Amino acid sequence: MNRLFLSLCTVILLLPSVSPAMTGREVYEKVHELRQKALDRQVTATLVLFDKDGATRTRSLIEYSKNADPDAYKVLVVFQSPPDLRDVGLLVHARTFSDRDIWAYFPEFRRVRRIPTNSQDDSFFGTDFSYDDFSGPPNLDDYTFTILKEEVLDGKPCYVVEVTPKVHRKWSRFVAWVAKDLWIHLKITYYQGEEQYREGLFTDIRIVDTIPTSFKARMENITTGHKTELTVDNIQYHTQFPDDLFSQRSLERAGK
């Protein structure tokens, strides 16, 4: 799924223009393919959390990830600030696009904690993004896709696709605005039943190493009024990190 990092670092493939008769599945095959190619990267980002009263908390993080063939991917996220959270980390090992292990490390306890795999839709450490948003692309066979319409958003033509999971998730479906030719999400709305509960907007799209990347993402929890803004400060693709960087030992050492 990786809706956040899809927005952050999706690759444009210079493919011939898509036929207007594309199905939802075909749209997401493009999205998936490009995200897979964008998996080798290092991102430095700043997160600003807004509570319902408008009070803010800021934190910065570094994300390292790699395409871990024959496994799916590996991701390591390490918080840099504030001082209380320095070196708090998250490690994802995805064997396949639907089977992964997640661990968290809190330096004060000196213990690595395993995060239950069924927590993928839970809040990523109090932000409005989920653990899933900080993981790799999903397994397309776990979803059904329906194109609802085509629409222009922020001047960009989009496919509006409804995605419904085949297994139980915290949300019952989401509707995504996928920019044509860029294969990147510009907007995503999650539903619980008929109620909208989470909404993400991805803006400031720039091309980095031929990969279209959203430098600003904003996710809002409609129910709580809480929102989180993520700003990419720096991004590098094709990093080819060694496997050692994605070990539990490395998690305990904050990737050092």
Partner 1 sequence: MNLANLLRHISLKHVKLQRTYMLLAVSGICLGVAAMVSIDIVNKSVLQSFAESIDHITGRAALEITGAESGFPEELLERVQNVPGVEYAVPVIEASANLSGGSERAFMILGVDVLQDYKIRSYSLNDETTDIPDPLLFLAKKDSILLSQTMAKQEGIVIDQEIEVQTVQGIKKFKVRGLLNPKGPAKVAGGDIAIMDIFAAQAAFGNAGSIDRIDVSFLPGEKLDTMEARIRKVLPEGYSLDTPTGRTRQVAILLDRFQKSMRFIGFMVMFVGMYLIYNAVSISMVQRRKEIGILRALGAKGGEIIALLFAETCVISAVASVVGIGIGLGFAKLSVGIVAQSITDMYLKTSVTALTFSWTILFRDAAFGILASLIAAAYPAVSGVRSSPISMILPLAPTVNGFKLSRKLMAVSVLLLFLSSVILAAYGMAASDSAIRTTGAIFASALLLIIGISLLTPAFFYRSLLIFRHFLAPWLGAGGRLACINLQKNVSRNGVAVAAIFFSIALYVCSANAMHSLRVSMFDWIDSIIRADILISSGNPLVVGGAQSIPMPESLAKEIEKIPGLQSVEPFRKSSLDYGGRKIMLEIFDVALRMDYCPGMFAEGSKEEVVQLVPGQDNIMVNEGFAARYHIKRGDTLVLPTPDGPVRFGVAAIVVSYTSDSGIIWMDINTYRRLWRDTLVDCYEVRVKEKKDIPAVRQAILDRLGKNRHLFALPALEFRNEIKKIMESSFLITHAVNIIVLIIAGFGIVITQLASVLERTREIGVLRAIGMKKNQVAGVVIIESALIGTVGGFLGAAAGLLLGWIELEGFFRLDYGASIAYHIHYASVAWAIVLSAGLAALAGFYPARRAARINIVEALTNE
Residues that bind partner 1 (CB under 8 A): 49, 51, 55, 57, 59, 79, 84-85, 88, 104, 106-109, 111, 113, 115-116, 118-119, 122-123, 125-127, 221, 223-224, 226
* 173 neighbors 164 (Cβ within 8 angstroms): yes
The CB-of-71 to partner 1 minimum distance in angstroms stands at 22
- Which stretch of DSSP H or E encloses residue 35? helix 24-37
The CB-of-245 to partner 1 minimum distance in angstroms stands at 22
Q: What is the spatial distance between Cα 204 and Cα 45, in angstroms, rounded to a whole number?
A: 14
The CB-of-205 to partner 1 minimum distance in angstroms stands at 28
Which residue is associated with the tokens 């909208």? 196
Q: Which is nearer to partner 1, 88 or 91 (CB)?
A: 88
Backbone angles phi, psi at 120, to 5 degrees: -55, -30
Q: Which is nearer to partner 1, 11 or 76 (CB)?
A: 76
Q: Which is nearer to partner 1, 122 or 154 (CB)?
A: 122
The CB-of-126 to partner 1 minimum distance in angstroms stands at 3
Secondary structure class of 156 (helix, strand, coil): strand
Q: What is the spatial distance between Cα 90 and Cα 105, in angstroms, rounded to a whole number?
A: 6
Q: Which is nearer to partner 1, 116 or 242 (CB)?
A: 116
Q: Which is nearer to partner 1, 80 or 221 (CB)?
A: 221
Nearest to 218 by CA among 230, 209, 210: 230
Q: Which is nearer to partner 1, 12 or 88 (CB)?
A: 88
The CB-of-79 to partner 1 minimum distance in angstroms stands at 8
Nearest to 128 by CA among 43, 184, 215, 190: 190
The CB-of-77 to partner 1 minimum distance in angstroms stands at 12
How do strand 99-106 and strand 184-192 relate by DSSP bridges?
unpaired
Beta strands in the chain (DSSP E): 41-50, 56-67, 73-81, 89-96, 99-106, 111-115, 143-153, 156-165, 173-179, 184-192, 195-208, 211-221, 227-237
